[in-house]
Structure 1
Amino acid sequence: MPSRPILTATALLSLSLWLTPATAAPGADPFEGDPYQSHPWVDMRKEFLGPTAKAVFDDRVQVRGPAFAEDPMNVPITVSVKDLPGVDRIIVLVDRNPIRKVLEYQPLTALPSVSFRFKLEQASPIRAAARTADGVWHVGGTLVDSAGGGCTVSGATRKDGSWTQTLGLVSARVFDATPIPGEPAETATGSRLRLKVMHPMDTGLVGGIPAFYVNRLSVRDTQDKELLRLQTFEPVSENPVFSFDFPVKPAGALRIVGTDNNGNRIDARLE
């Protein structure tokens, strides 16, 4: 008897991404122009961007990540919006995660860019939607392959119990901007803030461990003016690290405040 071909997880994902539903109306695009032709996209757009919101796919919203996630619990992603004025909010979504919303970022006085790591359950498009002042969502993305399982495994500090000793500790540093190649160093006026918050970031998808994660972070200046606001969700990686860019280096000390979903407060000062 001839053997049957075995479909890998990647092959199955490829099939699910590219096969058009049989129920689609003749001539209609069931994916609404989605370049990944992913079945979850239409419902995701309605749920996270709004049922009547306008969304357009836009190359100016750049999402960079690895082609393959070697560590599905720590997948590095950078979102950068270029030449798109008036961005007031960025939402990061993962089509095939059990928890699809990763974070929501309001740049305020910062630039519309953010870098972070997150947990990936299986191969999936990773999307960023940037809203402009006219209410339109501009969507970009990248496809990351993975062996999977990132959302349903405990982190290292949860396994060894060390999270109880470090919970809520913050380390941060401001770096001067890197000059544009070929331009004099004095033309680099911006800066990058990189911060790390110690937290287990439990998804609630591991037996006996409820969801426990940082849900809000805010960066403020010496006058307590809010420079950026970040809302995070369960898929963000354990002991999360974030990078933010500013057009002008913030003057004086910075204060980083936030909470987790259990009401624990985060409060640190960066001189």
Structure 2
Amino acid sequence: MKLMFAGFSVMLAASLASAQQETPDNPLVEGPTWNELKDDIVGKTAILDGAALFSVTAPYRANDAATVPVTIEQTEPAAGPIDSIKLVIDENPAPLAAEIRFGRAMAPLKFETRVRVNQYSNIRVIAETPQGSFMNGRFVKASGGCSAPATKDPVAALNGMGEMRVKLFDGETPTSNARREAQIMIRHPNYSGLQRDQITQLFISAHFITQLEVKQGDDLLFALDGGISVSENPVFRFSYTDNGATDFTVHAVDTEGNVFDRVLPKTPPV
């Protein structure tokens, strides 16, 4: 199991390194798709420019369209907390990749995950705050992410499904009120419904995590409603204020009705 998750960490590190090495600025670009989507995503809500409130980092040209790293970081903490976000990939078959609600310990927000990008597209984040709704994003050159073959055959992919691992970046001892950073990795194929079995060439039915809730003790860190655009074997890296609890608790539900409940100690076993 350690080797399996070690592979996840190497893949994520490579994706992040690629993103950091990209030099071109890649702001959102004008296009007709968002105008068609906007009412379905946000209704008639007024959307303000979020550039002064938070940044969105994503590679200009993705190394792997099936695992594109996206980081949202609040750059103006004085503006108050970001209560929730909508993560939207304009040109994907299901543009609303995820809706994520954040607990108080996540402020100021720094949150990262990986998504599939099906064709050159804006990746936009709509953030809800006490002051209103704000939007920022990046344009990403990637294609084929939603139909890219899974890394394992269907039988192998289901083995170990629901296994989880936590990685801590700022020490290994829970300390109340300290600002810390963690990463949670979940084993799940997150099939999009657009991928083919490499042997039979038949489409693999959509099978993905729809709900995810992460807490420290009894306090919510974040709750996610996800779709097909969240990558295989989801990874979430985030900063949080430690409340002194000894464990993270994770609750996940997928489209097949499978429920995965795990307790992940903040201090690894000796």
Which TM-score applies when normalising by structure 2? 0.77
Shift of 1:250: 4.5
1:202 partnered with 2:179: no
Which one of 45, 60, 71 corresponds to residue 53 of structure 1? 45
**2:83, 2:127 within 8 Å by CA — same for their partners in 1?**
yes
**1:173, 1:270 within 8 Å by CA — same for their partners in 2?**
no
1:242 partnered with 2:236: yes
Gaps of 5+ in 1: 1-33, 178-187
**Bigger-Rg structure (1/2):** 1
1:80 partnered with 2:70: no
Amino acid at match of 1:96: E
**1:80, 1:114 within 8 Å by CA — same for their partners in 2?**
yes
Runs of 4+ more than 4 Å apart: none
- Give 1:139's aligned residue: 135
Which one of 89, 94, 112 corresponds to residue 94 of structure 1? 89
Instruction: List aligned pairs for 1:47-196, cutoff 5 A.
Output: 47-50=40-43, 52-59=44-51, 60-83=53-76, 84-109=79-104, 110-111=106-107, 112-134=109-131, 136-146=132-142, 148-157=143-152, 159=153, 161-176=155-170, 189-196=178-185
- Give 2:221's aligned residue: 227
Distance, in Å, in 2 between the alignment partners of 1:40 and 1:137 is 20
- Give 1:44's aligned residue: 37
Distance, in Å, in 2 between the alignment partners of 1:227 and 1:93 is 21
Task: Judge which range, 87-96 or 37-46, deviates more.
Answer: 37-46
Amino acid at match of 1:235: S
- Give 1:19's aligned residue: none
Shift of 1:160: 5.8
Instruction: Output the aligned Cα RMSD.
Output: 2.1
Distance, in Å, in 2 between the alignment partners of 1:248 and 1:269 is 16
Shift of 1:254: 1.5
- Secondary structure at the counterpart of residue 216 of structure 1: strand
Which one of 213, 218, 236 corresponds to residue 218 of structure 1? 213
Amino acid at match of 1:156: T
Q: How many residues matched?
A: 224
Shift of 1:35: 5.4
Give aligned-pair identity as a percent: 25
**1:55, 1:138 within 8 Å by CA — same for their partners in 2?**
yes
**1:200, 1:213 within 8 Å by CA — same for their partners in 2?**
yes
Gaps of 5+ in 2: 1-26, 172-176, 196-201, 266-270
- Secondary structure at the counterpart of residue 45 of structure 2: coil
Amino acid at match of 2:125: A
- Give 2:11's aligned residue: none
